[in-house]
Amino acid sequence: MPASAENLTIERIFQSPSLDGSAPINLQVSPDGKRVTFLKGKDTDYERYDLWEYDIASHQTQMLFNSDDLHAGPEELSDEEKARRERMRVHGSGIMDYQWSQDGKALLFPIAGDAYYYRLGDKQAKRLLDTPEFETDIKLSPKGNFISYVRDQNVYIKNVHTGEEKAITTEGGDNLKFGMAEFVAQEEMGRMTGYWWSPDESKIAFTKVDESPVKEITRSEIYADSIKMITQRYPMAGTPNVNISLAVQDLSSGTTDWVDLGEDKDIYLPRVKWMQDSQTLSYQWQTRDQKTLKLQAYDSNTKTQKTLLTETSNTWVNLHKDLRFLKNSKQFIWASERDGFKHLYLYNNDGSLVRQLTSGKWVVNDVESIDEAQGKIYFTGRKDTPLEQHLYAVSLKGGQIERISQRSGFHSINFSDDASVYIDKFSTANTPWQVSLHKADGEQQTWLEQNAIDDQHPLASYQDQWVKPTFGTLKADDGETLYYRLYTPKKLEGKHPAIVYLYGGPHAQVVTNSWGGNRGLLFEYWASKGYVVFSIDNRGSNYRGKAFEDAIYQKMGSIEVSDQIDGVKFLRTLDYVDASRIGVHGHSYGGYMTLMSMFKGGDYFAAGVSGAPVTDWALYDTHYTERYMGNPNEVPQAYEASSVFPYAKDLKGDLLIYHGMADDNVLYSHSTKLYKHLQDMAIPFEVMDYPGKKHGIRGKNTGIHLYHTITNFFDKHFGMK
């Protein structure tokens, strides 16, 4: 059989070399702009990462550090590190992260709980941490004189040159955690740290988290050969959160000052950031109901503070990471959805608004870089289409927006510190990630990894059967425009079954013109078997503006299902789709949506596979759930209406539920509660549970098993081979 005629298999999706090709991850331009560094998986194990560099002047690529040389054998992660990686959606082994010093002369990278420090030109890396404890959140200080880390729930710093270690906090332990992000900060706010260096290294701000108010739950983690009973402080919706405090320690004097966060202690602290003067600490203060967000400025010299700005909403205020304090002027960039779409604003440091910089019925994604000398802000956004992410520039004086990236598709951007060059990690639905280096004006300098699908590319053998998805729009019943993606089999013969893949929840988007990784490969596999594969982004999902999101407020599982049914109505108009064989599948919120679609839309969905589903929002955490649903103590009827249980009696089709039995995010009890409910009503269904697996259900062989389980279920019920 010629190489070009191979058939894609589920096993091959998970084998090495990766079908994604050789595109690296965690790309960074060194601060001096002379090299690009990145992590790259081994040819023999694409999930074990080494540190590489590309020298811009010589165009030479070389491995800097082989992870096996630093730490061979299995890595024993601490429970805290396992939880952090689960929250960060990071998996793999070897060198998983690294950090440049600001002068571009040194690198810091943790591996297996210890830390290595490498100065360019040295023959080998210096091991700065070699302890029995597993240190987490390891950082290099702004000027590169110290490393900092969390050990046993306390913050430590260590002098890089002398090796002297100093404890910044000492009282951590049990329910007290210093410098650590609490569960909801990690999982729901995107804040993975609890301490912050001032730019001049004179001070460290840190949080003190008291978990004692949070309700203790006892959950089981079921493994193949044991059951662990885990006592976990998990803040379910409507129950108390942690008590959080914020302090600033002066490193020379050792004096610690506590910031007055106000009389209301039932608040969130989603962001903390120093101004350039190393004197003023900004922090974002959010009410429990998330309808008010304040940007505060604390003067660490005078111990006074002021409110710089306030954002309010009748539903909720979305968080962002786009606060940027300028270096050459006393001003900052801020993002706001106050006009209905996320846009950028320029403020003075005293909180006075200078001007709105971007506007229109489209959203900004992220501030990527600011060139103060040229007076330009570079940002990614969806100005041209919500299906693609592009790089744009706008003047600090406002005015016309310039599109920098040109190729249609999805562009992920990393700039050099001086905003002179950037790395573009580009893909489309049919083009695996390609990595190139560009000048700030978009001119391509060189390929870092062209990753072209030539004869040597792992995907080459499967191109004969490859399907290019089509994108389009349809109108919901009320006239709202919805975007869809459609894979069809290469040969359309008669009526084909369809699988609707969905997520459906907020802060997510399924339908994009970007490479889909293993899940996208699964869609290709399904299409090769004769399935039509369809996805639509319903109301509540991201990058369409705040009103599009707000439709789910206090009524999750309602408008989303209606939009998905409108998608099925569209599928039924296609003469090659068998309306009696349409299935639905999703994971997490997608698992919840699968259940609600099967229970509420049984006339449209004949079979469903629900992965790790939320079944009752009262069982989920405070920050996420109350943002969209309100407090269950105040609106219990909204929670009842959004639960799957009132609708389970109406199940008509075939249902499979799978769940990781050690899931600490969507707890396993979400599924077991539904198992019993369906059993009590004598409604048959199928189950596949995974001992020892968390929410992501990671692992190569586990992934193979899961993909086969999902596929076999649809094959069986839809009469496919």
Catalytic-role residue among 623, 663, 664, 717 = 663
Task: Print the domain residue range for 369.
Answer: 320-450
CA distance 162 to 123: 20
Per-residue pLDDT band for 1 (boundaries 50, 70, 90) equals very low
Q: Minimum mean pLDDT among 81-95, 151-165, 517-531, 572-586: which range?
A: 81-95
Report residue 34 CA to chain centroid gap.
29
Pair (423, 498) in one structural domain: no
What mean pLDDT do residues 325-329 have? Answer: 95
Residue 114's pLDDT is: 85
- Tell which of 134, 160, 195 closes a domain: 134
Kindly state the helix (H) or strand (E) to which residue 344 belongs, with its residue range: strand 343-348
Total residue length of the chain: 721
120 lies in the same domain as 207: no
Active site residue 588: yes
pLDDT in tens, 645-692: 999 999 999 999 999 999 988 999 999 999 999 999 999 999 999 999
- Output the pLDDT for position 534: 98
In our burial notation (b when 16+ CB lie closer than 10 A, e otherwise), range 463-498 reads: eebebebeeeebebeeebebbbbbbbbeeeeeebbb
* Shared-domain flag, residues 193 and 241: yes
Same domain, 104 and 187: no
Domain count, the chain: 4
Residue 653 belongs to some domain of the structure: yes
Evaluate whether residue 403 is within a structural domain.
yes
Last residue of a domain, one of 402, 423, 450: 450
pLDDT of 78 > 90? The answer is: no
Whole-number pLDDT of residue 72? 57
Residues 253 and 117 grouped into a single domain: no
Residue 74 pLDDT greater than 70, yes or no? no
418/337 same-domain check? yes
The catalytic position among 427, 514, 528, 588 is: 588
The CATH code of the domain that includes 550 is 3.40.50.1820
**Which whole number is the average pLDDT over 128-150?**
93
Q: What is the pLDDT of residue 67?
A: 87
Position 147 pLDDT exceeds 70: yes
**Does 586 fall in a domain?**
yes
Residues 268/231, Cβ–Cβ less than 8 Å = no
User: Looking at the domain assignment, is residue 141 inside a domain?
Assistant: no
Does pLDDT of 86 surpass 80?
A: no
At 219 the pLDDT is 84
CB 393 within 8 A of CB 419: no
Name the residue with tokens 């949080």.
Answer: 207
* Same domain, residue pair 357 and 295: no
pLDDT at 327 over 60: yes
**CA 468-472-475 angle, 5° bins:** 155
Residue 231 — very low, low, confident or very high, per pLDDT cuts 50/70/90? confident
What is residue 426's three-state secondary structure? Answer: strand
Beta strand pairing status for 280-287 and 292-299?
antiparallel
| Residue 82 pLDDT exceeds 80 | no
Residues 6+ apart with CB under 8 A from 69: none
Residue 485 has pLDDT above 60, yes or no: yes
Helix (H, G, I), strand (E, B) or coil at 528: helix
What pLDDT, in 10s, does the model give residues 369-413? 999 999 999 999 999 999 999 999 999 999 999 999 999 999 999
Same domain membership, residue 688 and residue 555:
yes
Average pLDDT (329-352) is 98
- Is residue 163 a part of any domain in this protein? no
Would you call 541 a catalytic residue per the annotation? no
How is the chain split among helix, strand and coil, in percent rounded to 5? 20, 35, 45
- Claim to verify: residue 487 and residue 619 sit in the same structural domain: yes
Known catalytic membership, residue 695: yes
Whether residues 198 and 265 share a domain: the answer is: yes
pLDDT for the residue 75: 66
- Domain CATH code at residue 346: 2.120.10.30
Question: Which segments of 29-137 does DSSP mark as H helices, in order?
Answer: 67-70, 79-88
pTM value?
0.94
Q: What is the largest CA-CA distance in the chain?
A: 79
677: phi then psi, degrees, rounded to nearest 5: -60, -45
Q: Are 690 and 659 in contact (CB under 8 A)?
A: yes
CB 427 within 8 A of CB 515: yes
Three-class secondary structure of residue 432 per DSSP: strand
Residue 2 has pLDDT above 50, yes or no: no
Do 417 and 522 have their domain in common?
no
Q: pLDDT digits over 11-56, tens only?
A: 999 998 889 987 788 999 998 888 999 998 887 887 888 999 999 8
Task: Give CA–CA dist 187/411, Å, rounded.
Answer: 25
Which of 496, 587, 670, 695 is an active site residue?
Answer: 695
Beta strands at 48-55 and 93-94: parallel, antiparallel or unpaired: parallel
Residues 541 and 675 in one domain: yes
Higher local confidence (pLDDT), 441 or 68: 441
User: Does any domain span residue 154?
Assistant: no
Please give the pLDDT value at position 3.
45
Q: 70 pLDDT band (50/70/90 cuts)?
A: confident
Inside any domain, residue 617: yes
Do residues 205 and 272 lie in contact, with contact meaning Cβ atoms separated by under 8 Å? Answer: yes
Helix or strand or coil: residue 366? strand
pLDDT score at 89 = 65
Q: Among 397, 420, 450, where does a domain finish?
A: 450
CA nearest neighbour of 277 among 301, 305, 247:
301
Only one residue has tokens 């599009």, namely 548
**686 inside domain:** yes
Q: How confident is the model at residue 634 (pLDDT cuts 50, 70, 90)?
A: very high
